[in-house]
Structure formats: C-alpha cells, structure tokens
C-alpha cells in the first residue's frame, strides 16, 4: 500500500479509526474507468464490501451504481449513491420483493422456485429480472469463499434449467471469484458459456459478479477488456461487473493504539482495536494483515503478539516484530482495512467502534466524518 502518507495519518487520526485515503481511491477509480471506457462494461460498487457512503459522491463519478444484498443495502444505494441498483440475495421474503421492486433496477433470483413464486409480484413491474447461475467451476482454495464448492446454495446449476421457463428473464448473473486476477475469470467464463451460453441470445444483460482484483498490480486489464467485448459483441448484451474489494483495495487503514503490554512466553500488546470486532476476516478467512513498521517474528529485535481488548481468548491479530519496544500510547497502522471491515464490525463487549475518517492527501487534511458513542451501542439493543 504505497502512496499513502501513513505517518501523517497516524499523527492526525483519533484512535481507533478507519481512515480512507482519497488519493488511493482516485487511483483505483481511474483503473476501473479505463476498463469501462475501453470495454463498454458497466461497473457497480458492491455495498457488502464497502459502504462508507461519505465517499460515494467521488466513487459515483466513475461507477454506474451499486449491487445490494438486501432491502437496506438497496435503499442505502438509492439514497446515497444513485445510478443503478442491482439486488440479489440467496433467498427473499415476500416483503423484501415488494420493497426491492420499488428501489431496484435489476432483481436477481437464486432459484426457479423464487422466480416463479414471486412472478405475480414482478411480472407487471419495470424491474429487469435475472437468474444467478452456478457454473460449478471452482477457482478458490478457501471453501467458505467459494460459491462453486460442492453442494453450494449460491447459483442455479445447469441441470436445473431443463424444462424450466425463462419467460420474463432478461439476464444471467454469476459470482464465483474471490480476490482473483484475470485468468480465473477467463477459465470461468469459458465454462459458463459452454453450459449457459445457449440461454444468452435474446437476453439483455450478463453480470460477471465480483471477486475481480482489477486494481491490483499485475491484473490483465487487456484480457478483461477483450472478454467483456466478446460477450457484448457475440450476444448483444450489456455486461456488468460488481467488484467490492477492487474499488477500495489499498485505500484504507485501521489506526490502533497500544493500551498495555503483558508478559508471557511471548509478550502481548493489548490494543484498542480487535480482530473479532474490527477486522473479523483475520479470524474468518483467516489472513495476516500488514502493519507499518511490523515484520515477521524475530526479524527485528522486539517481537510481540498483538491482541484486542475483548474477552475472546482468540482475539489475536498475530505476531510481529518491531525495531523499538512497544509501549502504551504507541500508534499502529493496519494496512488495507477498507473492505469487509467496517461493514462487518461489531461492538461486542461494548468496545469503542472506530471513528470513520477521510484523508485528502492533496491538502494533508484528515476529516472525522463519523464518531460512535454510547447511544449508538445502546440503540442497537432494547
Ligand atoms: C454476488 C456478489 N457480488 C459481488 C461481490 C463482491 O465481491 P468482491 O468484494 O470480492 O469483489 C460479492 C462478494 O461476496 C458477491 O457475493
């Protein structure tokens, strides 16, 4: 995550805080814009990954709208982002459909039973209806992040299409990737076309889902442009991409502070940020984040285990070594913390929710756009 003035942010930000760097965000958006301009694809922001809506006016200058997973996300997209709202969920309630039909441009079903069951509700509406398909082609190594894993509930397999009516269905959607470069998409698209290509003629759109790390170094942009053009030209469909991570990778920090250092076989620094509350993918995925000035254990002189303030014994962020000893009050910057962090954060144990901040590198200004207090914690319960 180069290009961010992290020392300056550590100096200016309150702790704990999620901080978004607008310079990095503009960098990512420029790449996504190039993809749109050259390929004709429409790119949506996946709200499930990142929904800090004070940044949406900037993102909306480039992206075409949002993809939403629920009526609340759809409403947030309609109110704060604008453009198109595309909604999908593994299953809907009737009242979700009623609400989503009034705020969505596209509504994607995950089964023929829901498509048909809700047909009387959607058939008279202007919303474009689609089906999520499952090409049953796995590229992911981590099963919980692989919608094509065996017995997946996400997407309709090809065999389910036999004998079914596609009347009123205007598009197909697949989402099968997670943090992937272009080649896995190319392989998936080939399998998708072999299995489902026969249904595309006459359809209006194809949605290639998310999981594309388009803004990461080494992504084959030319390959993506050609693939999008191929589907647009051959089937005369609008092609959508709905990345979440790619919009904000490398843009966000989580600033934390050392509260105490307790002795054990490995000294443990207890921070005001928590793996389980603020960076849950560290435990779920699991993965090891990067820390400014933090090295693998033993590389530098002072090695610590970093843990959160919660009661969870496993609220451990990991082990790092540093050039200088850690002492209470020291600030740490966890890198790449924009996506799947604040949208998943909890206030378990009543732990202080991080402030939300925006850093504008052009003027060196940090703005706290939202702080959370006791009333926010109390208001979630009754
Ligand atoms: C249907 C759908 N679209 C888009 C996304 C966004 O994926 P990513 O943030 O990995 O790009 C997801 C993530 O799970 C998803 O399930």
Of the listed ranges 136-140, 222-226, 243-247, 276-280, the least confidently predicted one is 136-140
Q: Which atom of ligand 1 is nearest to the CA of 177?
A: 10
**Ligand 1-lining residues (CB < 6 angstroms):** 46, 48-49, 67, 88, 175, 178, 209-211, 242-246
pLDDT digits (tens, 9 = 90+) for 43-65: 999 999 999 999 999 999 999 99
Q: Taking 80 as the threshold, does the pLDDT of residue 1 lie above it? A: no
Q: Whose CA is nearest to atom 10 of ligand 1?
A: 211
For ligand 1, pick from 28, 44, 49 the residue to mutate: most ligand atoms within 8 Å of CB: 49
Per the structure block, which two tokens stand in for 183?
């080649």
Interval 331-372: pLDDT, tens: 999 999 999 999 999 999 999 999 999 999 999 999 999 999
Nearest CA to 32 out of 230, 220, 221 is that of 221
| 321 pLDDT above the threshold of 70 | yes
The token pair at 351 is 């732990």
Q: Are 199 and 162 in contact (CB under 8 A)?
A: no
Give tens-digit pLDDT for 267-305: 999 999 999 999 999 999 899 999 999 999 999 999 999
Closest ligand 1 atom number to CA of residue 213 = 11
* From 32, 108, 242, mutation site for ligand 1 pocket: most ligand atoms within 8 A of C-beta: 242
Please give the radius of gyration of the chain, using alpha carbons only, rounded to the nearest integer.
Answer: 22
Residue with the smallest CA separation from ligand 1 atom 4 is 210
- Mutation pick for ligand 1 pocket among 48, 180, 240, 339 (CB with most ligand atoms within 8 Å): 48
In this prediction the pTM is: 0.97
Find the range with the poorest average confidence among 82-91, 138-147, 332-341.
Answer: 138-147
- Confirm if 195 and 230 have CB atoms less than 8 A apart: no
∠266-287-250 over CA atoms, to 5°?
Answer: 115
Give the residue whose CA is nearest to atom 15 of ligand 1: 210
């Amino acid at each position: 995550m180069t290009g961010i003035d992290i020392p300056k942010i550590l100096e200016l930000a309150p702790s704990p805080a999620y901080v978004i760097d607008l310079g990095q965000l503009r960098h990512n958006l420029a790449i996504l814009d190039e993809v749109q301009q050259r390929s004709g694809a429409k790119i949506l922001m996946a709200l499930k990954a990142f929904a800090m809506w004070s940044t949406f006016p900037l993102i909306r200058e480039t992206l075409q709208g949002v993809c939403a997973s629920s009526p609340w996300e759809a409403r947030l997209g309609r109110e704060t982002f604008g453009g198109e709202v595309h909604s999908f969920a593994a299953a809907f309630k009737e009242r979700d459909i009623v609400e989503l039909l009034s705020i969505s441009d596209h509504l994607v079903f995950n089964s023929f039973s829901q498509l048909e069951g809700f047909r009387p509700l959607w058939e008279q509406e202007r919303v474009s209806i689609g089906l999520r398909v499952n090409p049953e082609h796995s590229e992911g190594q981590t099963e919980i992040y692989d919608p094509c894993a065996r017995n997946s509930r996400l997407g309709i397999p090809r065999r389910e299409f036999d004998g079914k009516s596609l009347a009123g269905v205007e598009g197909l959607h697949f989402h099968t990737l997670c943090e992937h470069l272009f080649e896995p998409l190319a392989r998936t698209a080939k399998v998708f076309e072999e299995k489902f290509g026969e249904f595309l003629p006459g359809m209006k759109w194809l949605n290639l889902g998310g999981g594309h790390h388009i803004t990461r170094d080494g992504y084959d942009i030319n390959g993506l442009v050609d693939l999008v053009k191929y589907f647009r030209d051959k089937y005369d469909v609008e092609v959508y991409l709905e990345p979440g991570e790619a919009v904000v990778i490398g843009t966000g920090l989580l600033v934390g502070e050392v509260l105490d250092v307790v002795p054990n076989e490995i000294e443990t620094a207890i921070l005001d940020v928590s793996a389980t509350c603020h960076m849950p993918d560290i435990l779920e995925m699991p993965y090891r984040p990067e820390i400014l000035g933090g090295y693998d254990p033993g590389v530098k002189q002072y090695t610590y285990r970093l843990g959160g303030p919660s009661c969870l014994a496993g609220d451990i962020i990991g082990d790092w070594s540093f050039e200088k000893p850690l002492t209470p009050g020291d600030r740490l910057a966890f890198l790449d913390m924009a996506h799947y962090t604040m949208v998943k954060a909890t206030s378990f144990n009543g732990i202080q929710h991080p402030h939300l901040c925006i850093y504008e590198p052009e003027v060196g200004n940090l703005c706290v756009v939202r702080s959370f207090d006791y009333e926010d914690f109390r208001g979630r319960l009754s």
